[in-house]
Every structure is written in structure tokens, then in C-alpha cells.
Structure 1
Amino acid sequence: MFLLKAEDVSIEINANTLFEKASLEICEGERIALIGNNGVGKTTFIKGLMGVIPITKGIIQSKLKANEVGWMDQVPIDDGQITMREFIEKENEKLYELKRKLKKYETESNFAEDYMENFQQYLDLNGYDWQAAIDKQLYKVGLPEQLWAQSFLTLSGGQKTRAKLARVMVKQPKLLILDEPTNHLDAESIDWLVHWISQYKGAVLFTSHEREFIDRVATVTYELTNKGTKKYEGGYSFYREQKQFEQKTLEAQYQKQETERKKLAEAVNQYRQWFEKAHAAASERDPFAKKKANKNMTRLKAKEKALERLENNRVEKPVESKKLNYSIDAEEFSSRTMLALTDVSFSYSSELPLFDQLSLIVKRGDRIAIIGQNGTGKTTLLKLLTGKLEPCIGEVKRNPQLKIGYFMQELEGLNGEKTILEQILSLPNMTQTEARTILTCFLFHREDVFKKVKDLSMGEKCRVAFVKLYFSQANLLIFDEPTNYLDIETRERIEEALAMYPGAVIMVSHDSFLLRKVANRVIALGDGETVDYPGTYDEWTNTAPASNELQKLNNEKSILELQLTNLIAEEAPDDQQQKEIFKQKLMDLKQKIAKLDEEYRK
């Protein structure tokens, strides 16, 4: 049985049609993912479903009362004074205000009458049951009492998401609506959310660009475009598979249609010529020629009818996304080691150190995924690598050939007054034609390239920053959550681009699809220790956490590699005896590293 149904809904904003013919049906117990490119109107569609904004056309049927829908939206909280518990209580403004007044009046004898009046209202509205329901939900989402009085703005991303869930769940809704619920969550918080949703008994409608989250949660996926919605059973992977099948089917149908259309057009042209020739030769005294002309006319009309039918049922040419087919010139890097951290310790002020005697090497060809819970120092490590921060103890050595491209620096450095095209043309040796082609590959079409940066959404700014960074001729790209604010199509373009990139890559990301396609090494931070895993993200997730023995071997290898790097950097001595000792040291270190590699493979 359906809870809510939308049929052929269209929504206009400022006389512009955002989308049309959008249909969606939510049944009991379903987990529905609503996906689509940024700007297509997913949140607007939800607002239309909820009656927050008017729809232009279509029908919406709902069997739900207002208090049976819980909507966890993306509206930011600006009040820095509000505590987490107050944030949850404000879902019911009337009871929240009554509680606030009671607290104020209970210490002032002049307001005894007001106190009793408000107290009675509070009882009539089941205020104490409401308080108990809030307590229950806070415990249920795993938020301990010591956080209840903490400012909402100081909570972590995961804690804020849990608080928002507790807020909407106080009224036990039959339909839960989640708008980008995984934003700013680390992997552990996402795992918790997936588990929580699996235990929830009602229906769920959610928007998300996190493909693995969609796979793990959705039973149904709706894609929204400007032409409407299309329903797919299952999560993202099944949707993607079906989309590819549909694309191939459409291409085959289009090719078949075009072949048939060409044949019909040629036949029409041929029969027209025959008719005109036979008609010119025909006369009242030549009945055979006249009959032949009429016969050709009948055939001509039949072919014209067939061509008309084909045109009326025409399959539009499938739009093929332009692929990045461009040679990238990363700055040449001939050495093996790009940069090295030796015994690095770092802390902010007098806090416990985030890193204590951390040593690691970044080598040519590395594609490193840095993972860990929020607060474990992922961004701090990137800043140490780039030189934005200096270690308290230890050393960071950067190869003279190293040229770093840092995503956050590129994003923050965009000139708001310049157009997208001007930003890309500022790159070395970039021509107008190349810039337009590249921007098309990254979904900036036609007049889009003339938009000023200050008028762009955050997702569009991230795309511009990525393109500038990618073609900057850097030989090491460093990213901090590059796919935040990006839709699925843009994420896939970035994955394709990074797969082609000839330099090294270091990235912090919670996007497991991206990490699977890019990473060949994983650095996991957490609990005061660092695990350096020499394998793909899939291999890491299948074996993590790495055993103590494996980690010990890996740490020993890192130390030996550092020693080898420092030794190679030294000038070979002129004295023959010293030169032999130098060579022997090199050989010993290489043999030890090879032996550790062999032990690791066992």
C-alpha cells in the first residue's frame, strides 16, 4: 500500500520549468534513493511532495498526516547558543516554549499564576511524555548525556546527523526523508547510519551522491532529470548497469532506425523519379505508360507513409558523454622518492600529539588514500606534506623536482570576478579550443563557460578548481574530500581523469567508489597510530585492520626505505675504499627491503 504518490509533477521557478512529468510512489517499508545531477531539483521535488512549495502540474496523493513525516533537511543551524537537546526540543516549538517559560517562572514568585497556567498546558500536551521520548531517542541514536548540554555547532558531523535523526524520530514518523544524510560523515558514522536505517520500521526517501551508501540502503532508485523520473529496482550498481544497457539498446535502435530511414528516403527519391519520368511519358493514347505512372505513384505514397511513421516514432540520438581524451603534461619526475617524513611529531598547542614519530615516504607512482575517523588528523597530515604546517619535531624532505598541486589551495584561490573560461585559459600553454573541449568534458557546456566564479555553486567551483589543478603540470596532486558537493556524474569524471593522470596522488576521502578506482596504497589513521598498507583500497577493506605482525614489517620497511633515500642523496665518496663501503651499505639496505617484501608476501 502506498503512503505517498506523485504523478506527472512539473515545477516551475521564475517561469522556468525545472522538471516535468516526475512520478514517484512510496510504499510501506521501502528505502527509496532519489538521485540526479546537481541543480536538477531533487530538494525542490521533495518540497513539492511535502507541500512546502506549489507544484505547477500533476497530482500528489498522500495518506500521511503532517506528524507522520519526519524530514531531516540540510538547513544550517546559525544559533551558536543552542544546545544539542534544545535543537531537538525545538522540533515542537509549542512545548519548547512552555518548558522555557516554566524554567523561567519557577524561580520567580511574582509569576506563580503564570507558572500554574503554563504548567497545566504542559501537562495537557503530555510534556513529560515528550521529554521521555526525547531521552529515549537520544539514547537510541547513541548520544550520551554529557553531550546534551553541548552547543550544537561544536558537535562533529556524525554527532549532528545523529541529533537530527533523534529530532525527527521523536514523533515516530511513518515516512523519514533524509536530504544528503552522509555529508561530512566519516566511514564509521556512515556505517552506523546504514545500520540504523536497516532497523527503522518505516519508509525512507533519501537523496545522496554516495554510491556505496545508496547500494547498501536503497531498495528502489528513482533518477530525476529535467524530463521526469525513471524507476529502477535496487541500488546504485543495478541502476548503473541498467543505464548502460538502456544506452546500448538506444544506440542499436537509433542505428537501425537511421539505416531504415536512409533506405526509405532513397526509395522515396527513386520512386519519385520513376513516377515523374513515367508521368512525363504517359498520355491518353498510351494507357500502359499511364498505368505504370500510377503504379509508381502508389509505391511512392506507401514509402512516404512509411517514412512519415518512422519520423513520428523517431528514436532521438542518444547523448554520449564527451570523454576526456587529452594528453596530460605532469612535471617530469625522474627520482623514486617524492617526499619523506622522518620521525615527525605534531600537536596543536598543548593537546595530545596527533602524530608521534611518524615516518613515511611518498614514491613516484603512489596513489595514496588517507582514511580514518573525523578528528584523527587527516587534513593535518596533508598540511604537513604540503608545508602549510611545520612539524613540532622531525623533518619533512621534499625532492627539488617535486611540484605539488593542493586542491584546497586551488579552490580558495579562485578569482570570483573571472569567468570559468578565463580561469582555465590562465593555465600554461592553454588555448581557447583546448579550454572549451576540457570544460565540456567536465560538464561545463556552451554558455556555462562565461559564468563568473562568484555566481557558481560550491559544486561548480569544485569542478573548476579540479580542472585547474589537474592541468597545472603538478607531479603530485593532493586532495582533501574532492567529491564533497559533487553529483555522481561529476564524481565519475574525476575518477576517469585521475585514472589517466601520470603523476602521484594523495587524497583524503570518504567516497569508497573513488578510493577503489584510484588508490594503490592506504594510510589509515586512528587511536594514536598509523597503518601504512601497500595495496588497493579493496585489499585493505578485506584484510583491515592489518595484523600487528604485518604492520611491524611495514614499519620496518618504511624505516629502511628512509635510510636508503638518505644514503642515495649523499654524494659517493672519491676514496675507493670508502666508495666500496658506500656500495655495500646500499646493497645491504636493498637486500633487507627485499627480504621484508618476501616476508610480507608470505
Structure 2
Amino acid sequence: MHILKASGLKHEYGGEPLFEDIDMEIRTGERVALFGTNGIGKTTLLQGLLGRIQLTHGSIQRMIPLADWGSLDQQVEEGGELSVLEFVKHGSVELYQLSSKLKELQTRLSTAAAESAGVMEDYSQAYDRFMQLDGYGWEVRVEKCLQQLKLEPALWPQPFRQLSGGQKTRAQLAALMVREPEFIVLDEPTNHLDAQMLNWLEEWVCAYPGTVLYVSHDRTFIDRTATVVMELSRHDCRRYPGGYKDYCGQKELERRTQETLYARQEQEKEKLLESIRRYSQWFQQSHKAAGQNDFYRSKAKKNVSRMHAKGSALEKLERERVQKPRDAARLNMRLEDEGFAASTLLRMEQAAFAYSGKPALLRDFGLTVNRGDRLAILGPNGAGKSTLLKLAGGLLSPISGSVQLHPQTRIGYFAQELGNLDEEETLLGSLLSLPEMTESQARTILGCFMFKRDEVFRKIADLSMGEKCRVAFLKLYFGRFNLLVLDEPTNYLDIDTRERVEEALQQYPGALLLVTHDRYLIRRTANRLIVLDKKEPPQLFPGTYEEYEARGRSRPLDAVEQEQANECGKLELRLARLMQEAEPETDLQKQVLLQEMKGLQQQIAQLKGRQDLVKRTHPL
């Protein structure tokens, strides 16, 4: 069964087509990753499918009504002054309205005795409907989902609009978890989430009972969740079964097949051209030799017929000819380390740091960065990853301890905010300001990072965030630095550009200190890890990200952990049974049931919190 069918979709901006001739279909139970370069129109296409904008052309068949869809957006327009708790409840529209109405009627019952009969009737009807929809179970699910997503009770009364980007994403996910619509559309659900939440989200998407369509640049997320990848281009939307690795394998097979077909067509073209030349030559010779002899003139004309037949075959070949596959431009220049011979570039000793009025993020921290090191910093949001980079980059000073640099160490710092770019410079000018950079080299480099021809004369102020990221990275990469300190260098970048960044960093001869949520980037570049935790001292893991993940996955539970897991299972079973019991007859019994369920939910959350702490700290 299909959830969605669309054909001939087209959308224009300013008279120019963003995409056109787009056909797509989504089947029940699929997890579809919509994939494509920045600016191709993925978010616009999602908004059109959701009915929020009118696409320029095309038809959309929705097999389930839009009321049974759910969505997660990059930018949330709604929310206003709603509290976090109200925002999550608001996702279940009817239950939220009933809950609000019951509260209002309870207030009126306590203050307006004269009209209590009519109010009581309204209350009774609303209450019956609320119970019919399992309203008390819904309230428990709301709180449970908020805590599962690490949105603690202290946040619930705060205005939704004041949340951070990651917290807003988690609140939207909580609203979807509570409601469980048949079809959900997620626009960049992995943005702003740390590793722990990403792992949780992957498991949730895989286990979701409905159908999922999402846009994400996180290749690990696509690999672990997608059953189908849809590649959106300007004139097409092609389906590839599997995750990102499967997609890459199929694209490589397509490229090789196209190369083989192109080579065969080139050979056939040469044969046809040679035949045409030969028949033309024979005709000229035969016609000249025939003179006025009709028999020989007729024989010579047969060569003309054969030549025309070959010409028609050549025209058909040109019409059906495939394009020669074009490999993406690559950086072929090799950077030199300028004779830097020392082994240690940076050393931190007993360093500590705290922001004013806040608990210390680092205490007695020690770190040595040597030549050839590729250090990735892991940890949850708020653990101090960016702070550590700023200490290393000299943007912050420790409150105690020391940060020492070798005299020849030259640090290039990439900030998430991109504040070190001159907005009035052109793309070309920004690279020409680098030491010994020629215009020819600058144009080649910009071309490798998808800035073509006259685009190199655009001002940086006119670029998108993704384009600014590319420029900032190139200035650092070719700036003759021997230690790159990179804070989320691939934010705002599409997958194609991320892979070019990875390729460049693999060739880089200096050292790297890196913070990123891009697990592909960590796997391909890091050879050592620093693991930060809000509650435990920093740990150094002397290995790759694969080794770090494997070590955590393969560890058996000890006796205490096993006991906690068993207890947690019993409590969850008890909660599930309570939620399935018949509806209590009296209000008092209903309130007792709700309180018991809330108590069980709090105990489960506490046990899982202890388990998470052990999982984070044990591998090290």
C-alpha cells in the first residue's frame, strides 16, 4: 500500500525552476531518506507534500489525510508563549483541547454555584471523551517522553521559544512520540543532537510503527535507519534501496555501466564514421571511373545509399548517446609542513576553566597534541567541547594551570559562528590573500569546492551559510597552519561537500583538534579521542571511533548492572499492565492510578539514568 504518490512536481522561484518533472512514491512502512545537494529544494518539496505551500505544478495523492501526518521542522514557527509541557501536549490536538477545557470547567465549578448544573453537564461530557481517548495515560506518556528525551521537569514550565535548537528538536520529537501519527516528515532531525541522543533517535526511527520521510546530511543516521534513499536533482528523484553505503555502491555501479556504454558508443561512432568515409571515397572513385556508362553509374550510386544508411545510424547513435561520466573535481596539490621538526605542538597542564557564576567545565585537565595527531572530542551538549577548543586556540585563558604552544606552532581556528570572515571580500580575493596563492591555484581550489566560473567574484556577505563554511575551511586549510582547531566544520554542508572536506583533511600534513557530530568525519579522520562528560573527569581513548564504539557494544553487564536492568524491566512491565487495565469507576481511583503510574515512571527514569552513566564511563 502507498502512503503518497506525486507526479510532475515543479516549483519556481523568481521564474527560475528549483526542480521540475519530479515523480515520487512512498510505501507503507518505509523509512525514506530524501537526499540532495544544498539548494536543490528538499525543504521546499517537504513543505509542498505537507500542504503548507502550493507547488507551481504537479499532482500529489495522499492516501491518508494530512490530519494523520506529523512533522518536525528546522525552524518552528508555532509555540509562541506555550510552555514546553504545553507544546508537547499541543501536538495531540483533541486531547490537549479536552484537557484545557476540563481545567477551565473545574475552575468554573468551584466559583459559579448558580450555573453548576450546566457546567457539570459540560464537564461530564468532556471527561467521558477524555477517558475514552485514555487521557490519563496520555498525560503519563507526555511526561515519560519528555524525560526519555532528556528534557527534565525543571524545563517543562519554561516558554518553548526560549529552548536551544537541540531542545526544540527534542520537544518536537516528544510530541510525535506521544501522538504516533501514521506518517511523519522530519526535516533535519539530527541537527543539534549529541551522540547519545542520535543513537536514541536512530533506534526510535527504526522501531517506529508508521512510515517516515526525512531529510538529513548525517550519513551514519541514513545508514542505520533508511530502507530507501531518494536522490533529488533538478530534473529527477531516483529511488535506491538501502542506506547511504548501499546508495554509494549503486551509484558506483551506475557510473561504471555508463562508462562501459559510453566507450562502446564511441567505438561504434568511429566505425560508422570510417564506413561513411570509405563509402564516400568509393562513390567518388566509381562515379569518376563510370563516366557515361549507365551500368557503372548505377553501381556507384549503391555506395551512396549505403553511405546514407550509415549516416542515419550515426544520427540515431548521437540521439541516444549517453554522456561521458564526470568525476568530481579533486584536490591534487600536496601541502608541505614547512620543515616543522618538533614533536609537540600544544600542551595543557592541570588546566581548569569555568564561566562566571557557573560550575567548572574542566578541572586539572592535561592534554598533549603531537605532530600527526587527529584528535576528536566527544561528549554530550554542554560538556565543554567548544570551550576546550577555545582554550587550545587561545580564545580563552584557563583560570588555573597552563596552555603552552611550541614557538613554531601556527593555529588555524574554525568557529561555528564564522565570525573571522571578511564579508566585503570576494571568494577569489579571500584566497588570494593567502601566502603565495596564485589566481590559477585559487580558481582550481574554488572549483573543487563547487564555486564555478564567475561565482568566484561573489562577495562573502552574499553567500549562504553552507557556502561561507566552505570558504572558511579553505582559508584555514591553505593558510599554512600546522594545527587546525575545528569546531563543527561541516555544519550547513551537504554530503557531497562533507566528503570533499574529509578528503582534504586526510591529506592534511598537520595536526587536528576536532569537534563534530558528523560520525563519518570522525571515523575517517580521527586516530585519538577525548571523551568529556558533565559528571566525570575527561578521558583519553587512544584509538579510533570504531574501536571506541565496539568496546562499548561488546562489554557484558556486571552483577549490579544486571540487577538494575532486571528491576527496570519489572517496573516497565508493571507500568504497561496498569496502562492496559480497565478504566476505574471513580475519580479518586483514577487519580490514584495516575499517581502510581507517575511514581513508576520516575523510578524507571532514575534506574535508566544510572545505566546511562555506567555506559558512558565504563568503556574508558
The TM tier, using the shorter chain, reads 0.7 to 0.9
2:532 aligns to what SS in structure 1?
Answer: strand
Q: Rate the CA distance shift 1:183–1:335 in 2: closer, same or farther, 3 A.
A: same
Provide the rounded CA distance (Å) in 1 between the counterparts of 2:386 and 2:490: 15
- Once the two structures are superposed, the pairs formed by residues 306-455 of structure 1 within 5 Å of their partners are 306-408=313-415, 411-455=418-462
Superposition deviation, residue 256 in structure 1: 1.7
Please, which of 530, 535, 538 is the counterpart of residue 543 of structure 2?
Answer: 535
Q: Which residue of 1 aligns with 2:193?
A: 185
- Once the two structures are superposed, the pairs formed by residues 90-489 of structure 1 within 5 Å of their partners are 90-91=90-91, 106=107, 123=126, 126=129, 129=133, 132=136, 133=138, 135-140=140-145, 142=148, 143-155=151-163, 157-285=165-293, 287-288=295-296, 290-408=297-415, 411-489=418-496
Superposition deviation, residue 13 in structure 1: 2.4
Superposition deviation, residue 492 in structure 1: 0.2
| 8 Å contact kept, 1:101–1:118 | no
Q: Rate the CA distance shift 1:127–1:70 in 2: closer, same or farther, 3 A.
A: same
Q: Rate the CA distance shift 1:125–1:320 in 2: closer, same or farther, 3 A.
A: farther
Superposition deviation, residue 521 in structure 1: 0.9
- Which stretch shifts more, 421-430 or 103-112? 103-112
Q: Which residue of 2 aligns with 1:566?
A: none
| 8 Å contact kept, 2:98–2:126 | no
Q: Rate the CA distance shift 1:546–1:294 in 2: closer, same or farther, 3 A.
A: closer
Q: Can you list the C-alpha shifts for 1:436-470, whole angstroms capped at 9, x where unaligned?
A: 11001011122322222222211111111111111
Provide the rounded CA distance (Å) in 2 between the counterparts of 1:158 and 1:287: 88
- Which stretch shifts more, 123-132 or 160-169? 123-132
Consecutive unaligned residues in structure 1, runs of 5 or more: 548-602
| 8 Å contact kept, 1:95–1:122 | no
Provide the rounded CA distance (Å) in 2 between the counterparts of 1:207 and 1:66: 19
Q: Which residue of 2 aligns with 1:551?
A: none
Provide the rounded CA distance (Å) in 2 between the counterparts of 1:125 and 1:404: 67
| 8 Å contact kept, 2:528–2:542 | yes
Provide the rounded CA distance (Å) in 2 between the counterparts of 1:6 and 1:431: 49
Q: Can you list the C-alpha shifts for 1:234-255, whole angstroms capped at 9, x where unaligned?
A: 0000001111111111112112
Provide the rounded CA distance (Å) in 2 between the counterparts of 1:196 and 1:8: 33
Superposition deviation, residue 123 in structure 1: 2.5
Superposition deviation, residue 481 in structure 1: 1.1
Provide the rounded CA distance (Å) in 2 between the counterparts of 1:112 and 1:317: 85
Provide the rounded CA distance (Å) in 2 between the counterparts of 1:20 and 1:424: 36
Provide the rounded CA distance (Å) in 2 between the counterparts of 1:118 and 1:332: 87
Q: Rate the CA distance shift 1:545–1:101 in 2: closer, same or farther, 3 A.
A: closer
Q: Rate the CA distance shift 1:329–1:78 in 2: closer, same or farther, 3 A.
A: farther
Are 1:516 and 2:519 counterparts? no
2:403 aligns to what SS in structure 1?
Answer: strand
Give the TM-score normalised by the residue count of structure 2.
0.81
Superposition deviation, residue 39 in structure 1: 0.5
Q: Which residue of 1 aligns with 2:22?
A: 22
Please, which of 500, 503, 509 is the counterpart of residue 510 of structure 2?
Answer: 503
Are 1:47 and 2:47 counterparts? yes
Q: Can you list the C-alpha shifts for 1:203-257, whole angstroms capped at 9, x where unaligned?
A: 0001111001001000111110112111111000000111111111111211221
Q: Rate the CA distance shift 1:404–1:131 in 2: closer, same or farther, 3 A.
A: farther
- Which stretch shifts more, 518-527 or 140-149? 140-149
1:411 aligns to what SS in structure 2?
Answer: coil
Code of the aligned partner of 2:364: Q
Superposition deviation, residue 491 in structure 1: 0.4
The CA RMSD measured in Å over matched residues stands at 2.9
Code of the aligned partner of 1:42: K
| 8 Å contact kept, 1:177–1:205 | yes
Superposition deviation, residue 122 in structure 1: 9.2
1:339 aligns to what SS in structure 2?
Answer: strand
Superposition deviation, residue 384 in structure 1: 0.9
Q: Can you list the C-alpha shifts for 1:50-102, whole angstroms capped at 9, x where unaligned?
A: 22222334332111112110011112469785421232244467986887798
Q: Rate the CA distance shift 1:119–1:406 in 2: closer, same or farther, 3 A.
A: farther
Q: Rate the CA distance shift 1:371–1:331 in 2: closer, same or farther, 3 A.
A: farther
Provide the rounded CA distance (Å) in 2 between the counterparts of 1:414 and 1:111: 68
Provide the rounded CA distance (Å) in 2 between the counterparts of 1:227 and 1:22: 6
Code of the aligned partner of 2:126: L
2:17 aligns to what SS in structure 1?
Answer: strand
- Once the two structures are superposed, the pairs formed by residues 568-587 of structure 1 within 5 Å of their partners are none
Code of the aligned partner of 2:272: L
| 8 Å contact kept, 1:354–1:528 | no
| 8 Å contact kept, 1:410–1:469 | no
Superposition deviation, residue 11 in structure 1: 2.1
Consecutive unaligned residues in structure 2, runs of 5 or more: 556-620
2:538 aligns to what SS in structure 1?
Answer: strand
Superposition deviation, residue 137 in structure 1: 3.5
| 8 Å contact kept, 2:482–2:511 | yes
Provide the rounded CA distance (Å) in 2 between the counterparts of 1:10 and 1:61: 15
Provide the rounded CA distance (Å) in 2 between the counterparts of 1:493 and 1:111: 72
Q: Rate the CA distance shift 1:279–1:475 in 2: closer, same or farther, 3 A.
A: same
1:529 aligns to what SS in structure 2?
Answer: coil
Provide the rounded CA distance (Å) in 1 between the counterparts of 2:489 and 2:15: 34
Code of the aligned partner of 1:48: G
| 8 Å contact kept, 2:227–2:243 | yes
Code of the aligned partner of 2:383: T
What is the percent sequence identity of the aligned residues? 46
Provide the rounded CA distance (Å) in 2 between the counterparts of 1:32 and 1:118: 48
